[in-house]
Chains A and B, each alone.
Chain A
């Protein structure tokens, strides 16, 4: 059991699309699971990374304080951190909110938006505060590898994980390299 590569995954300011694309490897996951074991992940019930993770797959950029907290936990506990998908790499479509101020975004969503009842910007302390801007993860922690795409194709997940399992530098052939 302990010979298996431990893989942690998370979605920060992501849409879970990268996780879905990972699961698009379909039945190949049966063979993959012979070689890897999931640690903290939306697919498991593990609440925090164990400190023996080999690979951390991070989907989504950083949009709030909790995202930054989780990202740091992954960096501290994973030997290899991989930025997965357009959001983790350059902020992605959520970073289009950077065109506006945070106040403008909150006021549009919670005060002035169409169909808003009982207008009020949520202020409970349990809700993580939004960052002024959305950021890619490499602006906060060191990132070892990048897996582009929105989402990356299932074959790209397979290729990178297979390369790493074989102890090789991951590389993406041109036909599975895209940003869209």
Chain B
């Protein structure tokens, strides 16, 4: 127990090491084990909102992004049952917003879409919400399309924890919850966000995007044309795509 480097957990029958303080998700990512997730990025404080990373830990369900690893945990993740639940959650995210991939500039580079492919999602199953949410195009180089926002709050955390700013927040209750901008006007143009901020690039869907940089990557060469979302180390690739420095 005293040697924290010798502790292990078992995920789907594979024994992997962890260091004290690591969550199950952190340990899994380090061991190149993919647990589906949308609201988690290594280095940012865990959020626990998307619930895709739910695993079975010693017979109980838990979010692997928030639950600390403790020695001897027996964890199931890649099971038919859990993947079915994950597909249902993904369908809920799709019908809650307006995810018209054919006209979205993030298509092919979108983690939500890639997770849906990974889970073999063919349809939304549930009735569409067809929300009517506000677009904020006030900023010179960044646009917010709230119809595609999945409330993962990666932008909120990136702005606070990495950029040292406080540009975004989630406000409202229940299904009325929405992404807001911390300015008296509520407009992005009245904040100190910069187009090089992490918060401007971290969005896993097509909700926060850099203006005038859509459709730059040929079909067949987009992130998830070339990679599966389950591939180790694919997340930094998406971020680089977001900055349009890869072509």
Contact = CB atoms under 8 A, between A and B. Distances in A.
Contact of B123 (A96, A138, A178): A138
A174 B107 contact: no
A146 to B, nearest CB: 4
Q: Indicate the size class of the contact surface on chain A.
A: 20 to 34
A91 B98 CA distance: 10
Contacts of A133: 130
Contact of A179 (B98, B113, B130): B113
B197 to A, nearest CB: 28
B99 A90 contact: yes
B123 A98 contact: no
Nearest to B113: A179
A90 to B, nearest CB: 5
Interface of A: 83, 86, 89-93, 95-96, 98-99, 133, 135-136, 138-139, 143, 145-148, 150, 172, 174, 177-180
Contact of B101 (A138, A143, A172, A179): A179
Contacts of B102: 86, 92-93, 150, 179-180
Given A139-B128, A146-B122, A95 B107 contact: no
Contact of B130 (A95, A138, A143): A95
Interface of B is mostly: loop
Given A96-B103, A180-B108, 6 more contacts: A90-B128, A95-B130, A143-B123, A172-B122, A180-B102, A180-B107
Interface residues of B, number: 25
A53 B228 CA distance: 39
A46 B124 CA distance: 32
A135 B128 contact: yes
B12 interface: no
Contacts of A179: 101-102, 107, 113, 116
Contacts of B132: 98-99
Interface of B: 94-95, 98-104, 107-108, 113, 116-117, 120, 122-125, 127-128, 130, 132, 147, 228
A90 B103 contact: no
A14 B55 CA distance: 40
11 contacts: A89-B123, A90-B123, A92-B102, A98-B132, A99-B147, A136-B124, A136-B128, A147-B122, A148-B123, A174-B120, A177-B122
Nearest to A90: B124
Contacts of A174: 117, 120, 228
Contact of A89 (B117, B124, B147): B124
A96 B117 contact: no
Contacts of B108: 180
Nearest to A172: B122
Nearest to B132: A99
A148 B122 contact: yes
Contact of A83 (B104, B116, B123, B147): B123
A177 B127 CA distance: 22
Contacts of A178: 117
A174 B123 CA distance: 15
